[in-house]
Amino acid sequence: MPQLSSPDLSANPDARHVLRFTADDVAQALDAARLSLAASTAEVCNLSISTVGRLVEGVLRVRRCDEAGAVSLADRLAERPGVRSSRVEHVWGRS
């Protein structure tokens, strides 16, 4: 059976990395996203922030970055004050 290779989504302008993070409050979530993105080549498609109990959850969708860039962005988010967790959730787009 032939092996299927995953498409190179970094070169696909329709590909989006979805990052999810939690923070203590909205101001810290916004600052974390702004400052983390400043050091990245990623382009923001969407940022949503919602209250989840005593924390806020951010969902950040970016394009124009590869998988390593998305992981690096999630790591920078996690290092910001007030951020409790951060991860690359998934990638979606046309192949």
pLDDT for 95 beyond 70: no
Neighbours of 94 (CB within 10 A): 9
φ, ψ of residue 2 to 5 degrees: the values are -70, 145
Percent of the chain whose predicted confidence (pLDDT) is above 90: 71
Span 54-75, mean pLDDT? 94
Domain ranges of the chain: 15-90
Give the CA distances from residue 28 to residues 38, 78, 94, in Å, rounded to whole numbers and listed in that order: 15, 12, 33
For residue 94, what pLDDT band results from cuts at 50, 70 and 90?
A: very low
CATH fold for domain 15-90: Alpha-Beta Plaits (3.30.70)
Q: Are 14 and 5 in contact (CB under 8 A)?
A: no
Round to whole Å and give the CA distance between 46 and 60: 6
In 1-95, DSSP assigns E strands to 16-23, 43-52, 55-63, 83-92
For residue 1, what pLDDT band results from cuts at 50, 70 and 90?
A: very low
Give residue-wise pLDDT tens across range 14-58: 678 999 999 999 999 999 999 999 989 999 999 999 999 999 999
Q: Average pLDDT of the chain? A: 86
Q: What is the pTM of this model?
A: 0.81
